[in-house]
Structure 1
Amino acid sequence: MVALGAAGYGYFWVHHPLIPAGGQPIDFAVKPGSSVRGTGQQIEASGIPVNPLMFALLARFSGKSGRLKAGNYTLKPETTPLGLIEQLVRGELAQESLVVIEGWTFRQMRQAVNAHPALRHDTVNLGDNELMAKVSSDYKVPEGMFFPDTYLFAKGSSDLQIFKRAHALMLKHMDDEWARRDPAVPYKNRYEALIMASIIEKETGQAGERDMIAAVFVNRLKRGMLLQTDPTVIYGMGDKFQGNIRKRDLETDTPYNTYTRPGLPPTPISLPGAASMAAAVNPTKTDVLYFVSRGDGTSHFSNNLNDHNRAVNKYQRQQ
């Protein structure tokens, strides 16, 4: 009877949820090199009501004691001890996410990475140049070199892996878009295309106008006209920018002031997304050279300066 009772309890325990429905998930960690019994003890110490001895017996009897993987996990409600062991065998680590926004600067990306509580901050004390040395052998300046996306990672992962993944993904997008480029675009290489994409990213208010914005800047480059784009000026001002751009800012020369210097700025000014990268290498085929905001998020495009000045009077100065 005692043996029968023990067997009944064992069957009940194996198939009974460790956290009932409606309960809160519980995070736990298993250290590398842990024994089966030690694994059960670490799980119990995290607040999960698992008996380490019963856990070890179940792992051994199921033939999976040697396949449990270390790492950071989250136990969800309604998971049974058997389900827990399966989770450890599959290595279903706790998933976290970091969202890198299109149009962010690299500085903003670093701030988001440094502030994420689930990452291990191995790069926090590295300068930008030191970080790039660990990430890339070809590029020294980090601006624009990381693709904006949502990155999933196991809790406790190194932040360096996020930077490496984002950089590798950006290189792939650069290669893909460069291979699909219109032969008429005036760039020497894929890096110049990336610089243009970063400008388009910052200038576009409506997604549907992205290709037209690209056309304005590409046409101006081809004609040797100044790009005259405010976001490059703002980027060049750095911490001096306080929310308003003034006439004297447009006249103050910096390497990024496209009102005073011809051609593209020396580096990207933001992290461009896929749509801006595509627009940079395949802009709309049109003669537009100017655009001005209508004040509602859309832009008015013009082929000549007279039409542009009239649009400025209509949409800007009257406001």
Structure 2
Amino acid sequence: MAENRKKSSLPLFIGIIVLIIGLTAAGFAYFTFMAPSIATDEPYFYVKSNEPYEEVMKRIESEGVVSNPALFQYAAKFMDLKSAGIKAGKYKLSKDLSNRRFIGNLRGGYQEAVKFRFQNIRLKENFAGLLGREFEADSTAFLQLLNDEQLATKYGFTKDNFFSMFIPNTYEIYWNTDPKEIIDRFAKEYTKFWNDDRKAKAAALNLTTQEVSVLASIVKGEALHVDEMPKIAGLYLNRLKKGMLLQADPTVIFANNDFTIRRVLNRHLTIDNPYNTYRYKGLPPGPIMMPSIASIDGVLNYDHHNYIYMCAKDDFSGYHLFAETVAEHLVNARKFQKALDERNIKK
């Protein structure tokens, strides 16, 4: 009888052992592959181009990316990550990300694109710095391209006006994209931006698209308010048609390379620089800042009027007073100069 009971309990015992082993294996598999694994609060993990596998794995542990590095290493080995290779890129991290998903992203290169937005960029150096902060390549690599005469010529620009090719907008570009490919992406956007309608309006002004952008950069430099851009553009176009000097203060500030100037004085006007439109007739050789879409469209859709002169309003609202004659302009200018003196703005 006892022997029969012993025989009947044996399968139960074996079953319990098998169940325990099964549950243990299932638990191990779950925590190794399926359970949330990310421990860091960093939103992204970056893998550099040509970074060795061992170095990436070491950083995942040292930077505290995953909660259990040993399980991550096991999962990576099981999924043959080393043979497949880790792709360079910017990988989004979230607290619900499992080892399986994270490893799958690394081996498949399923990275998140950089949403790169830029505007109000003054100089090439500023733009190169911004690109260097957002993408893998450093600012020096981008600045070399921005100053590359041959590259500018390839896209139909000169070294001086190449900066006008970059249309401020939002772009989605992968973090590890080669700098030349990034420049090419901007060139495609430029071509798309200058559609038939915009090109026809530029032709009607007897200006190239590059010249429109140069003028738009001056308009942007003058205008604090978008709604005044077409009016300012109309004034400068009137000057160009009459063969007058543009005499745009923002070009003088650019020529002096002193962006702290708040009051343009006679000593600033004497600089011998092709960007000084008080000395050189016509448009400068390139933009004095990156033109905005609003300023470009302000030139293309300029206000038709007879104004030749303008002066900032003495209420410091950012708007201007416009005039057709020198006499009218001098009255406006005296008001503004008086306001500057009252505020003790001397330079």
Q: In the TM superposition, what whole-angstrom CA distance separates every residue of 1:275-304 from its partner, at most 9, and x where no partner exists?
A: 111112220122222221112211122233
Match for residue 138 of structure 2 among 121, 125, 129: 121
Deviation at 1:208, TM superposition (A): 1.1
Matched, 1:226 2:235: no
Q: Secondary structure at the match of 1:232?
A: helix
User: TM-score scaled by structure 2?
Assistant: 0.73
Q: In the TM superposition, what whole-angstrom CA distance separates every residue of 1:75-101 from its partner, at most 9, and x where no partner exists?
A: 222212343245347633255455533
Q: 1:54, 1:103 → 2: CA distance? A: 46
- Change in CA separation of 1:227 and 1:152 when aligned onto 2, cut-off 3 Å: same
Match of 1:303 in 2: 324
Q: Secondary structure at the match of 2:47?
A: strand
Q: Secondary structure at the match of 1:315?
A: helix
Whether contact under 8 Å (1:205, 1:297) holds in the other structure is yes
Deviation at 1:265, TM superposition (A): 1.5
Deviation at 1:6, TM superposition (A): 0.6
Q: 1:95, 1:292 → 2: CA distance? A: 45
User: TM-score scaled by structure 1?
Assistant: 0.78
Q: 1:198, 1:279 → 2: CA distance? A: 11
Q: Which residue identity does 1:303 align to in structure 2?
A: E
Deviation at 1:112, TM superposition (A): 3.2
Q: Superposition pairs for residues 215-254 of structure 1, below 5 Å?
A: 215-238=234-257, 243=261, 245-254=264-273
Q: 2:115, 2:246 → 1: CA distance? A: 37
Range with bigger deviation, 89-98 or 208-217: 89-98
Q: Secondary structure at the match of 1:51?
A: helix
Matched, 1:83 2:101: yes
Match of 1:271 in 2: 290
Range with bigger deviation, 155-164 or 258-267: 155-164
- Change in CA separation of 1:67 and 1:250 when aligned onto 2, cut-off 3 Å: same
Deviation at 1:216, TM superposition (A): 0.7
Range with bigger deviation, 270-279 or 251-260: 251-260
Deviation at 1:17, TM superposition (A): 0.8
Bigger Rg, which one: 2
Whether contact under 8 Å (2:233, 2:303) holds in the other structure is yes
Match of 1:107 in 2: 125
Whether contact under 8 Å (1:203, 1:231) holds in the other structure is yes
Q: 1:34, 1:107 → 2: CA distance? A: 32
Gaps of at least 5 residues in structure 1 are none
- Change in CA separation of 1:231 and 1:304 when aligned onto 2, cut-off 3 Å: same
Q: 1:180, 1:283 → 2: CA distance? A: 14
Whether contact under 8 Å (1:177, 1:278) holds in the other structure is no
Gaps of at least 5 residues in structure 2 are 1-17, 341-347
- Change in CA separation of 1:76 and 1:217 when aligned onto 2, cut-off 3 Å: same
Whether contact under 8 Å (2:152, 2:158) holds in the other structure is no
Match of 1:15 in 2: 34
Deviation at 1:195, TM superposition (A): 1.4
Q: Which residue identity does 1:196 align to in structure 2?
A: L
Q: 1:38, 1:312 → 2: CA distance? A: 65
- Change in CA separation of 1:167 and 1:183 when aligned onto 2, cut-off 3 Å: closer
Q: Superposition pairs for residues 149-160 of structure 1, below 5 Å?
A: 149-160=169-180
Q: 1:202, 1:31 → 2: CA distance? A: 39
Report sequence identity in percent: 25
Q: 2:287, 2:99 → 1: CA distance? A: 52
Deviation at 1:257, TM superposition (A): 2.0
Matched, 1:205 2:224: yes
Q: 1:26, 1:269 → 2: CA distance? A: 36
Greater fraction helix: 2
Whether contact under 8 Å (2:32, 2:74) holds in the other structure is no
